[in-house]
Amino acid sequence: MPSYDPAHYNPPAPIAMVSLRPVGASAPAVECLLLLDTGADITLLPRAAIEHLGVRPLAGIDYELIGFDGSRRTAQSVDLDMVFLRKTFRGRYILVDGDERGVLGRDVLAELALVLDGPAQEWSER
């Protein structure tokens, strides 16, 4: 499992691989690399990963996102099962477009005990 990514983040940042699947499906359908972001309220998933699942965004349910810089935008959402560290998190996740990487936010991270070791550039489950 990837730990920290020095190629896309300066300083290097913790990343993790998650499996995404339609709600109630028995087998993971697609894997997705996400930034572990303890400052993010919610989890953001790349639209490209969701398109591989064939899951459509929820009609008429958009969310306003406010960035740390105060910028605002509207985003669609999907209901999915996310498998991370052998646990399944069923939830509503927000979609991001373009080349943006996904973000694993506190809506999921708050359910886990993780140790982030920046100097060693690794993280582990406690």
What is the per-residue pLDDT across 44-102, written as a single tens digit (0 to 9) for each?
A: 999 988 888 888 999 999 999 888 899 999 999 999 999 999 999 999 999 998 767 89
CA atoms of 117 and 122, how far apart (whole Å)? 5
Q: Which fold has domain 4-125?
A: Cathepsin D, subunit A; domain 1 (2.40.70)
Tell me, rounded to whole angstroms, the distance of Cα 9 from its chain centroid. 16
Euclidean distance between the first and the last CA atom of the chain, given in angstroms as a whole number: 16
Q: What pTM did the predictor assign?
A: 0.89
From 76, 103, 104, select the one nearest 89 (Cα to Cα): 104
In contact, 123 and 36? CB cutoff 8 Å: yes
From 45, 15, 36, 33, select the one nearest 110 (Cα to Cα): 36
In contact, 17 and 28? CB cutoff 8 Å: no
